Amino acid sequence: MAIHKLANGPITLRISGIESVEGNFGAQTKFSGTDLDGEPTDVYVSEMTAMRQLARLNLTPETAAGQTVRLEQVKKDGKTYTNIDISDGSAPAKSAAPAVVAAPAKKVELPELVTLYGQCVKAALETLCVACENAGVPFDASAIQAAAATLFIKATR
């Protein structure tokens, strides 16, 4: 079984199992499965990072079996982060052409931003609040603000 190091690049893996192991760097999560070439492969990720990323995808080590995921490391502000995302199992498109730099976005005026933020608050109220009330989970204004801000940031990027 091959071991893929995420420092060598991303990998798409159809998961056959996930288990906690003690590695050279402490508690790790071993993702076992097959890569896009059908080769059996293991990928080791920090246990805390792996559990956080699986939770973000609404998966557990038990429910992830059979899923196809893309695991990668990204560097931002001098730090290395591990991302795990659901994949359709196809290889990412490779291009020999250099990356195209997008044109600068047009400046959005304040009244438009205020309207958009209002829509985000309304959406947060309609989704988060209703879901929390139905589940009996307490929430407060900061939860609504955080949900609205998340929507607003995503909408403006």
Q: Which CATH number fits domain 2-86: 3.40.50, 1.10.10, 2.60.40, 2.40.50?
A: 2.40.50
User: pLDDT digits over 18-34, tens only?
Assistant: 999 997 778 999 999 99
User: pLDDT digits over 69-91, tens only?
Assistant: 999 999 988 899 999 999 886 65
Q: For all residues of the chain together, what is the average pLDDT? A: 86
How far is it, in rounded angstroms, from Cα 13 to Cα 34? Answer: 5
Segments making up each domain of the chain, as ranges? 2-86, 110-156
Q: Could you give the strand order of the β-sheet that contains 26-35, starting from the edge strand earlier in sequence? A: 2-4, 40-46, 26-35, 11-23, 68-76, 79-86
Confidence (pTM)? 0.57
How far is it, in rounded angstroms, from Cα 27 to Cα 29? Answer: 7
